[in-house]
Each structure stands twice: as structure tokens, then as C-alpha cells.
């Protein structure tokens, strides 16, 4: 129980840290971005919009503390301000419309890569010294070293441009009206295939090598040796004895990956002009849309933090050693 | 160097007290212990040479827009030219420089920060450890790329070196956690106790006793941090958050993709930079294989067990 309280406490503190970083950063930077922003938007926005912006950033009026309190209040009442790049659309509705794209694309790619990678990792550790065991870690290492957005560029070039198998950008064909028609869904699938494949390949190596190393580690434990000597069938040894324990560290990575679903595709989305949250953040930075930058960063951070909390709590259920605080 | 008892599990540290040359040779010896790390080391050396001698190797000024634009590869321009008439081959060569400097600068800096947080926390324990550990955990859970993008957004168009600094300041936490764990296992060993008895100050124990005994972990961390920094820098530059007039592989990719190199089929523009990043990264991963073999004895022991004596275990 103490462990659970401990983890929740850490979650709250780290959430506070993220929120505060988000508050302090724009106010701490040299050259005061808020001023630069005003200079930029002078004449572009209506006076009332400028007033609202001034208020949001508390220029020249309220104390820093008052600004902080206002900021927190706005945050928790989901009043995240209005976007500058698509004024006066509320930031929350823009995020709301791009979030499903990201979660759909990255979520599915992550799930596939976790299951495939873990299964392959078990298989490889099983067939040690086999063809796959010798080649796959090296191939996956090479993938780890490549910048995956560049791999995405290559895919766009080869499969999108040269072979013309898949569309090169966007989330769906703009000529088709969105809706639950087979035509639209097919278009979404076609557009998601290449970015999904990039994300899948980018993540796969980590899962394979991670699971393989965990398996090798647990296969060295005495209880596995004992079970082997006792004559336990190899398949049972692999799944019930070794893999069950080896999967624990994978679970941590899995939760972190789930948390990264929101942010994990910033580069890929940029390459494919995919209408997700990463693209929104990039666009926001390019057009100095500060409410949007702050909100999307906070969203990404909260996703990661919540995923971390979940894994910590889950871990204590799965690994009794942590709950009881024994065995170091 | 020092006269204490080194733990036996660290073969790289059992260097005999020979000449300086022998010592240096000993450090690099593990890189030649297997084919993977040898290949990695050679690729790495090639890029170091390219980075150092870039002005000699590159035929033209990388940013001078003086050539015929949009050329495909020719004898004069091996990788063709950009749409403004810059020589892509020269850009590629010069980019090795900024990438290596930024990568290693950020890698080493973040390892140093990680060492400070990890070793001090692990050695001191108690409240110090609780505070340092908390800060480490915060940085560990913060989404790195997003945080870097946000910082870049407020800084607007930073140089590659500033980017490297940001990468180091945001990405040290993983190393700190590893160092802390390792320090905690070392802190109760006899040779540390002996050093304490002999009246050595805590600071001196950390620097002269603990750090040298986890040299291989430090080396591994530097390599991974460098790889991460190179990829992060390339990513940020590709998104256009770095000064777009700087010369780096990421910036090259930014210009290539923004000038429709893909649709024009100008593969000579966007393939070399990515390949450069990939090769440097691969060399780091391969070299880390050597470090891994030393630091993780279990990987070795296992091979012996599973082979049932069919072949002698090789490192």
C-alpha cells in the first residue's frame, strides 16, 4: 500500500513539474517570446484578440504568481485558449480533431510491434545460434541507428513516388467526404499504411532485442536449469517458466511506449503531413502559436506520466517483490 | 594509478602498469575482440577523419551558391547540387563535422551530468539520494523530443551547438539511473571501505575509486547518449527548428524535403545525409557491442551453457 501511495505521490509531483515547466519556459527564455509574438501579430489580429493574448501571458499587469494561478485555473477548466494560427478556433477543439489520427496510427503500430517483437524475441532466444538469432539483432541494430524519419522519406520516395503504390501524404483523400463509407475507410487505411510501417519497423528492433536479452537472463536462473533437469518440455519451459518472468521488463517499456503514442510520431507525421498531434505541434512552433504549443506539450507529457503511473501500479500486482519491498 | 583492489568482474580495469602506450592500447583492445566492434570502430574512425579534415576533403565551400542549380551527380559534383547551386558533396563532408561535435559533445556532457546525479545520489544515499533521484525521475518521464521542440520554439533558430546543449540538458536521466544503481553496488565493497578508512574524502572516493570502476558502463553510456543526440539533432534540424543556414545532415534533409527533392526524384540529395547519420549511428551501436560483452558477463555465460560444449564460448 505504501508503494502505491508513493507512486501516486510521484505522479502528482511530476505532473506539477510538467505543468510548471510549461508555465515557466516561455517566461524564462531570452528576448521574451511573448513580446516577439506581439510584434508579429500586431495588425494581424483584432484588438480584442490581442487583449486576450495579453491577458493569457499577463503582460505588464498581474504578478507572476497571479499569472500562475490563472494559468492553473484555465488548465483545469479545459480553457486552453484560442489558437493563433487558426484564430479563433479553440485549441482544445483542434487537438480533439487531430488526436484520433495520432492515436489510431501510432497506437495500432505500437501494438503490432510489441506483440510481434516480443514473440520474435522469445523465438530467437529459443533457437539460439540459429539463422535468425545471428541476423535479426544486427539488422534491428542497424535500424536503431538509422534516423527513422529518413526511412520514412525513403518509403515515401520508393513506394509513394517511384512505385506509386501508396499516397505520399495526408490522412485521407481530400476528394472523399469523411464518413463511415468503405471508400473513406479504405482511403484512411491506404494513407496510414506507410507511416504505420515506418513506426512499426522503427520500434520492432527494441522489442526483439529487449525480449531476447530478458529471456537469456531468465534462462540462466537456477529454477529454469532445475526445471530443465527435471525434464520439463521445452515449450513449457519457454513460455510458463522463462517468458513469464522475462516479460516483466517488456511491460515497463510497453507502458512507456503507450505513453509515447501521443508524441512518438512527431517526425513521421511531419514527413507524411499526417493530420495528427505531432504535426499540430510542429505547425504551432513554426507559426509561433503559443497556446497550441503549451497545450500539446502538456497533453504529451500527461499521456506519458499517466502511462508511467499505470505501469508502476500494474507492476506491483505482477511482481510481488516490489509490493512487499523485499529482495532489495 | 591507484593501489587498491579492483573488483575482478571488470577485466578492462585490470590493466598492468605498463607504459602509457600499452595502457592506451589496452583501452582499444576490446574493440578488436570481435568482428562487429572492429567494423564499428573502423567506420567510426573514417568519419572522425572526415570530420577533422573536412576543409581539405571537401572540394567547395558548402554554403556557396555558385554552381549550376539542380544538377544530378557529375564528375565535378559527386552528389549533384541543390536548387540554389550548392555542392551537396561538400555539404555532406562538412556536416560530418557538426554532427560529430554535437553528438559527442552532447553525449559526453549528458554522461557527466548523469554521473554527478547518479554517483552522488548512489554514494551518499539518504536525503541527497531522494532529492537527486526525484529530479532524475522527473527528467526520465518527461517526453524528450516534445520538450526539446518546445524549448526550440521559444529560442527560435538555434545553432547546432545550442541544440546539442539542449539535448544534453534534457537527456541525461537514463544514464544517471544506471550510474546510481552501479554506485550502490560498489559503495559497500571492501576497497571503498578501505578508502574510507584511510581518510579519503567522499569526493575523492567518487572520482578516483567509483568512477574508474564503472568505466565500461560510462563508455557504453557515452555511446548511446551520443547516438541519441545525433538522432535528436538530426530530427530537430529536419523539422526546421535549428538555424536553417547551418550545415548539418539534418538541415540538409530539411532543405531536400522542403524543395521537393522527393518529387523531383533527386535521391542524391536526401540519401547521403541519412546514410551518414545511419553509418555513424551504426558504428556506435557496433562499438557498444564490445562494451556490452565486457560489462554483461551473463551474455557470455549463457552461450556456454546453451552450447553444451559443442563449441568453446567465444567472447
Burial A11-28 (b: 16+ CB within 10 A, else e): beebbebbbebbbebbee
Q: Which of A280-294, B74-88, B110-124, B129-143 shows the lowest mean pLDDT across its residues? A: B74-88
Interface test with A, best of B154, B180, B223 (most A CBs within 10 A): B154
Q: Which of A92-96, B63-67, B160-164 has the lowest mean pLDDT?
A: B63-67
* Residue among B145, B262, B280 whose CB faces A157 most closely: B262
Class of domain A93-315: mainly alpha
Q: How many residues does chain A have?
A: 328
CA nearest to B267 within chain A: A157
Question: Looking at residues A198-214, what average pLDDT do you find?
Answer: 84
Q: How far is B86 from chain A (nearest CA, A)?
A: 21
Taking only the tens place, the pLDDT of each residue in A233-273 is 888 888 888 888 888 888 878 877 877 777 767 888 888 88
CATH class, domain B34-55+88-297, is: mainly alpha
- Give chain B positions within 8 Å (CB) of A13: 134, 138
* pLDDT at A291 > cutoff 70: yes
Q: Which residues make beta-bridge pairs with B81? A: B87
> What is the pLDDT averaged over residues B95-118?
91
Comparing CB atoms, the residue among B146, B281, B307 nearest residue A146 is B281
d(CA B273, CA B279): 10
The closest CB to that of A33, out of B154, B234, B307, belongs to B154
pLDDT tens sequence across A127-154: 777 777 777 767 777 777 888 888 888 8
Task: Please give the ipTM for the structure prediction.
Answer: 0.76
Q: Dump pLDDT digits (tens) for B221-276.
A: 898 899 989 988 888 888 888 777 788 888 888 888 887 777 777 778 788 888 89
Give the A:B interface size as CB pairs under 8 Å. Answer: 150
Contacts of A281 in chain B (CB under 8 A): 146, 149
- For A183-203, the DSSP string reads HHHHHHHHHHHHHHHHHHHHH
Tell which wins on pLDDT, A253 or B104: B104
Selected residue with higher pLDDT from B15 and B154: B154
> How many other β-carbons are positioned within 10 Å of the β-carbon of residue B269?
27
pLDDT for the residue numbered B126: 83
Instruction: Please answer yes or no on whether A147 and B235 come within 8 Å at the CB atom.
Output: yes
What's the rounded mean pLDDT across residues A175-201? 78
pLDDT confidence band for B117 (50 / 70 / 90): very high
**Distance between A181 CA and the closest CA of chain B, angstroms:** 31
A-chain CB neighbours of B310 within 8 Å are none
Q: Where are the domains of chain B?
A: 34-55+88-297
Domain residue limits, chain A: 2-76, 93-315
B169 Cα to chain A: minimum distance (Å): 14
Q: What is the pLDDT of residue A42?
A: 62
> Do B237 and B248 meet the contact criterion of CB atoms below 8 Å apart?
yes
Amino acid at each position: 500500500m505504501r508503494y502505491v501511495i508513493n507512486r501516486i505521490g510521484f505522479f502528482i509531483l511530476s505532473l506539477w513539474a510538467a505543468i510548471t515547466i510549461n508555465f515557466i519556459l516561455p517566461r524564462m527564455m531570452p528576448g521574451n517570446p511573448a513580446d516577439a509574438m506581439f510584434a508579429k501579430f500586431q495588425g494581424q489580429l483584432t484588438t480584442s484578440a490581442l487583449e486576450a493574448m495579453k491577458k493569457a501571458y499577463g503582460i505588464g499587469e498581474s504578478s507572476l504568481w497571479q499569472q500562475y494561478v490563472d494559468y492553473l485555473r484555465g488548465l483545469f477548466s479545459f480553457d486552453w485558449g484560442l489558437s493563433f494560427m487558426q484564430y479563433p478556433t479553440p485549441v482544445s477543439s483542434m487537438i480533439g480533431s487531430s488526436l484520433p489520427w495520432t492515436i489510431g496510427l501510432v497506437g495500432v503500430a505500437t501494438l503490432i510491434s510489441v506483440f510481434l517483437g516480443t514473440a520474435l524475441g522469445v523465438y530467437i532466444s529459443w533457437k539460439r545460434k540459429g539463422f535468425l538469432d545471428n541476423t535479426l539483432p544486427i539488422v534491428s541494430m542497424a535500424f536503431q541507428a538509422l534516423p527513422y524519419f529518413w526511412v520514412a522519406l525513403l518509403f515515401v520516395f520508393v513506394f509513394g513516388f517511384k512505385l506509386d503504390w501508396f499516397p505520399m501524404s495526408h490522412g485521407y483523400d481530400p476528394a472523399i467526404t469523411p464518413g463511415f463509407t468503405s471508400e473513406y475507410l479504405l482511403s484512411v487505411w491506404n494513407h496510414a499504411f506507410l507511416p504505420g510501417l515506418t513506426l512499426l519497423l522503427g520500434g520492432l528492433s527494441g522489442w526483439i532485442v529487449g525480449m531476447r536479452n530478458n529471456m537469456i537472463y531468465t534462462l540462466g536462473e537456477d529454477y529454469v536449469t532445475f526445471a530443465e533437469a527435471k525434464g520439463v518440455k521445452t515449450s513449457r519451459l519457454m513460455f510458463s517458466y522463462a517468458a513469464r518472468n522475462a516479460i516483466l521488463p517488456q511491460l515497463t517499456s510497453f507502458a512507456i511506449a503507450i505513453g509515447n503514442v501521443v508524441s512518438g510520431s512527431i517526425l513521421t507525421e511531419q514527413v507524411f503531413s499526417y493530420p495528427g498531434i505531432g504535426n499540430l505541434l510542429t505547425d504551432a512552433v513554426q507559426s509561433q502559436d503559443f497556446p497550441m504549443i503549451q497545450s500539446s506539450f502538456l497533453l504529451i507529457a500527461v499521456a506519458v506520466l499517466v502511462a508511467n503511473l499505470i505501469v508502476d501500479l500494474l507492476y506491483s500486482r505482477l511482481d510481488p517483490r516490489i509490493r512487499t519491498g523485499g529482495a532489495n | 594509478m591507484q593501489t587498491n583492489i579492483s573488483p575482478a568482474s571488470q577485466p578492462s580495469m585490470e590493466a598492468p602498469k605498463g607504459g602509457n602506450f600499452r595502457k592506451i592500447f589496452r583501452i582499444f583492445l576490446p574493440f578488436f575482440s570481435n568482428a562487429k566492434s572492429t567494423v564499428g570502430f573502423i567506420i567510426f574512425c573514417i568519419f572522425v577523419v572526415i570530420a577533422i579534415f573536412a576543409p581539405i576533403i571537401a572540394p567547395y565551400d558548402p554554403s556557396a551558391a555558385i554552381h549550376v542549380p539542380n544538377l544530378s551527380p557529375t564528375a565535378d559534383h559527386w552528389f549533384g547540387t541543390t536548387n540554389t547551386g550548392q555542392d551537396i558533396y561538400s555539404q555532406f563532408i562538412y556536416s560530418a563535422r557538426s554532427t560529430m561535435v554535437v553528438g559527442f559533445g552532447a553525449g559526453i556532457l549528458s554522461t557527466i551530468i548523469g554521473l554527478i546525479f547518479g554517483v552522488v545520489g548512489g554514494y551518499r544515499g539518504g536525503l541527497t539520494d531522494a532529492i537527486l533521484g526525484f529530479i532524475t525521475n522527473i527528467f526520465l518521464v518527461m517526453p524528450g523530443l516534445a520538450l526539446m521542440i518546445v524549448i526550440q520554439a521559444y529560442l527560435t533558430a538555434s545553432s547546432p551547438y545550442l541544440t546539442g546543449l539542449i539535448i544534453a540538458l534534457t537527456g541525461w536521466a537514463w544514464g544517471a539511473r544506471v550510474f546510481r544503481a552501479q554506485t550502490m553496488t560498489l559503495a559497500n565493497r571492501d576497497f571503498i571501505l578501505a578508502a574510507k578508512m584511510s581518510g579519503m574524502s567522499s569526493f575523492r572516493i567518487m572520482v578516483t575509486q567509483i568512477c574508474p570502476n564503472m568505466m565500461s558502463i560510462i563508455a557504453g553510456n557515452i555511446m548511446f547518449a551520443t547516438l541519441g543526440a545525433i538522432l535528436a539533432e538530426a530530427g530537430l534540424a529536419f523539422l526546421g527548428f535549428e538555424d536553417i543556414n547551418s550545415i548539418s545532415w539534418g538541415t540538409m534533409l530539411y532543405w531536400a524535403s522542403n524543395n521537393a527533392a522527393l518529387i523531383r526524384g533527386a535521391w542524391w540529395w536526401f540519401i547521403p545525409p541519412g546514410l551518414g547519420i545511419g553509418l555513424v549511428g551504426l558504428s556506435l551501436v557496433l562499438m557498444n557491442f564490445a562494451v556490452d560483452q565486457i560489462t554483461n558477463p551473463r551474455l557470455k555465460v549463457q552461450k556456454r551453457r546453451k552450447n553444451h560444449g559443442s563449441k568453446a564460448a567465444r567472447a
